[in-house]
Structure formats: C-alpha cells, structure tokens
A and B are shown apart, each in its own frame.
Chain A
Amino acid sequence: MITVHLPEDLAREVGIAPHSHHESRQSLGDLLEAVDAAAPGLLRRILQAGGELRPHLNVFVGERLIGREQPMSAPLRDGDEVWLLRAVSGG
C-alpha cells in the first residue's frame, strides 16, 4: 500500500481525497498513472508536456526529494508515502 498526499486545491480539482491509499507500484509513474485513471486530469496538472514536473511543484517520497526532470521514473516501495507539494511563494 502506498499513500498519496495531494494539495487540497488539486485534490478538489480532480475529485479525489487529499490523502488516499493505493495498491503498491514499482515507480512513481506507475502510481500516478493509476491515480490519474481514477482522478482524470491529475497528470496534466503536475507534468509539463515533456514529462518534467511543473516549476512550482515538488514531489517527495517519504523525506526524499524527487528530481524534476524525470520524476516518473522514481522507484517506489510498499509502504511509501508520496507527497506532492506546491510552492508557498507568491504575493
């Protein structure tokens, strides 16, 4: 089981709970594609057209910050917690 934590505004947009549990997957990409199937529109809101993470978002697996360029290839293990966080910058 893997737990996914989303910003509340994003969760509301795609119609999923901010904190949700999912069947264990091998990679972040596999996981998020499964979440996107249940919550259509999630992936295009967090990834740019080339697959990079959008500039004002970060992804952590546990306490580990995932790189921006190819986030979907990050490996996962059963029991991981995935945090998608938006920047707190802005006026």
Chain B
Amino acid sequence: MAEILLLVGTAKGLFRFRSRDRLHWQAQGPDFPQTPVYTAVLDPRSGVVYAGVNSEFYGASIRRSRDLGETWDGGGEGLAYGPDDPEQVTRVWAIAPGRAEEPGTLYAGVEASGLFRSRDGGDTWHEVGALRRHPTHELWGPGYGGKCLHTVVETGPGTIYTACSAGGIYRSLDAGESFAPINAAIEAPFMPQGARYPEAGQCVHKFSVCKAQPRRIWLQNHGGVYRSDDGGSHWLDVGQGLPGDFGFPVLAHPEQPDTAYVIPLQADERRWAEGGVLGVWRTEDAGATWHPLAQGLPSPSYASVLRDAMDGDGLDPIGLYFGTTSGSVYASADGGGNWHEVAAHLPRIMSVRAAAVRS
C-alpha cells in the first residue's frame, strides 16, 4: 500500500509523520520551530510539499520542499499587498494546488482575507484582486482566529470557491476575474433577528467539495451544517441529526458524494464535544442521518479541533486523521471505525493534511 505522509501544522512548527500501514508512525521534524504553521500540503502533481509559515518576526511565506520536508527553500516572491494598501498580509491560512491540467498553478488564502495565485509553482505570487474589490468586502471582519481566507478550491476550468471568516463563501466562474457571494439561505445565528441571512458576513468555518461530484459542497458554518448540490447556488440545512451544529472542520468523502464527516462541538460557551465525548460524526445518506465514530478516542476530552485539522487520505477504505488544540493526532485506517493516537503533547494543532506518497 502507499506510504502516507501526515503534515501537522502547529502553533510552534510543522510536524511530519509517515506510515506504510496507517497504524505505526515514524515522527519527523519538527520544521520551523517556534513558528506558527497554519497549513501544509503535498501537491500530488509535483510531489512538492508547501507550507504556510507565519513568522511573527519575519512575516508570512510559503515554503517549498522537494524531499518531503527534509529541506525547505525560502519561499517565492510577491506574497504581499501593495505598499499603499490599508491591509497587510500577515498569515497564510490555505495553500491549494490547482487543476491537474495546470501543474504550475497554486492558490493561497491569506490574512487579512485575500486570495493569491501562482502560475509557476510558487516562485511568484499575485493577488487575485477581484475578490477584495467585491462591494461586500466592507462587510468582512475578523473571526476569533483572524480575518482570514481559509479555504480555496478550484474545481474546474475557471471555477474557484473561496471562504473567509467572517465573510462567507464566494464563487468565481471566470478564473478569478470576478466573484459573487453564494451565501443564500445560510443562517448567521449570531446576528439580530431579521438580519440573520445576510448576503455576506457569515462566519464560515470550513467547506469541502466532493472530488467525484464537485457541485456537491459540504459546509460547516458557525452554527449550521449545510449541503449544496449545485455548486453553492442553493444550500440545505442538514445538521438536524447531529448533537450540535457547531464545529470547525468538515470533510467530504472524495469518491462517495453522500458521505461526509464533521466534529460537533458544543456552542458557544464550551466549544468542546457534548459531554466531553469527542468524536467524528459521519453521514452516508447525504446528511439525513449522522452517526458517531469514537471507538478508541479518549473520553472525556475537552479539546477542540480547528477548521483545517481534519483530513482523509483518499485510499480505500479511507484513512481519517484529525488533530486537537491539546496537541494530539488521531488516525483511523478504516474510515473512522477505530481510532489510535499518532502523537500527543504537540503544540496547538492548526492543520492536518494526509497524502499518499508516490514511491
């Protein structure tokens, strides 16, 4: 079977874990010690690992490794707003490889919320400026984690989805020349009555697109789990079967459009799992019912799982992985049926990414 590489971004560096059986793990790193790493990803097209390195001292950068993290470069150029711009690029939250047909194209989501694109594998970055020029930009504000564009996915020629918190989901159908908010029928429960369905300003925690059916999108909002079957034009509330509809990550199964995963937390006073019973909840019927997957997880647990800290490896059966704010990483090699601890006592975990390594 393929070797799995886990990239675990934390508040104090990047930790890497490798396994050939998804049960026994070899720890590597840490890289960038004492430096927040909010995201890291293996580009399956090139084998290059990209990491969003957010130095409090020297600024944000996107570093590259061509040997699975053993060595890193200093990052490309251009990851900044203009000198007269009232906003600064302070952190990288998202790095997303583009389509297979455009192997040099990558996207990056940054704080303050904005979108960058590289056409040369990360040598140079340019802002996709239409997003911040949208008239609703003035409605965007910082969530607790910061005013960040945390999710970007290019699903087809010209089709780009992004989400920022707080701001909402935006879609481009012309390769970033223009964007439109697609937040219709998404409730913002923290707003006053009568103003809970704004065009923009929603606190999107995460969305995830089904690879096999890219018009199916799953959304975890700040209060609300939704599904779209038409690329975000319409949303259906599918959170009723969960112990709570608050949480941060959401993950679409890449090949099974009716299967998705969330980690419900108790909002808003606690933000840990109901009763301290931490678990991944799975639907296999498009959100009609949800079932907990907690065998092997510690209980009680008072940890949270942040928006980028859950991923799947795409194998069959799918391996699932998540990391907690208390520094533990858990893995399941059987789609969530049984969990084991990969690592504990790491710094606060910001992101977990799993990828099969080409041999």
List the interface of chain A (C-beta within 8 A of B): 7, 10, 13-14, 40-41, 44-46, 48-51, 54, 56-57, 86-87, 90
Contact = CB atoms under 8 A, between A and B. Distances in A.
12 contacts: A41-B74, A44-B59, A44-B80, A45-B59, A46-B58, A48-B88, A49-B89, A51-B83, A54-B57, A54-B58, A56-B56, A90-B56
Nearest to A89: B56
Contacts of A49: 80-83, 85, 88-89
Contacts of A44: 59, 77, 80
Nearest to B74: A41
Contacts of A48: 59, 88
B84 interface: yes
Contacts, number: 39
Interface string B24-37: 00000000001000
A90 B34 contact: yes
Interface of B: 34, 55-59, 74-75, 77, 80-85, 88-89
Given A49-B83, A90-B34, A54 B74 contact: no
A44 B55 CA distance: 12
A40 B75 CA distance: 11
A44 B77 CA distance: 9
A27 to B, nearest CB: 19
Q: Of residues B57, B80, B85, which shows the largest number of chain A Cβ atoms within 10 Å of its Cβ?
A: B57
Nearest to B75: A41
A44 B62 CA distance: 13
Contacts of A56: 56-57
A48 B87 CA distance: 11
Contacts of B55: 45
B58 A45 contact: yes
B34 A54 contact: no
A90 B55 CA distance: 12
Contacts of B80: 44, 49
B57 A50 contact: no
Nearest to B34: A90
A30 to B, nearest CB: 19
Contacts of A45: 55, 58-59
A87 B57 contact: yes
B86 to A, nearest CB: 10
Contact of B83 (A40, A41, A50): A50
A50 B84 contact: yes
A81 B58 CA distance: 21
Contact of B59 (A7, A40, A54, A87): A54
B58 A13 contact: yes
Q: Of residues A7, A10, A46, A54, which shows the largest number of chain B Cβ atoms within 10 Å of its Cβ?
A: A54
A3 B88 CA distance: 31
Contacts of B57: 7, 10, 54, 56-57, 86-87
A89 to B, nearest CB: 9
What are the 3 A-B residue pairs with the smallest beta carbon separation, nearest first?
A: A45-B58, A49-B80, A86-B57
A6 to B, nearest CB: 11
Contacts of B59: 44-45, 48, 54
B299 to A, nearest CB: 29
Contacts of B85: 49
B327 to A, nearest CB: 14
Contacts of B82: 49
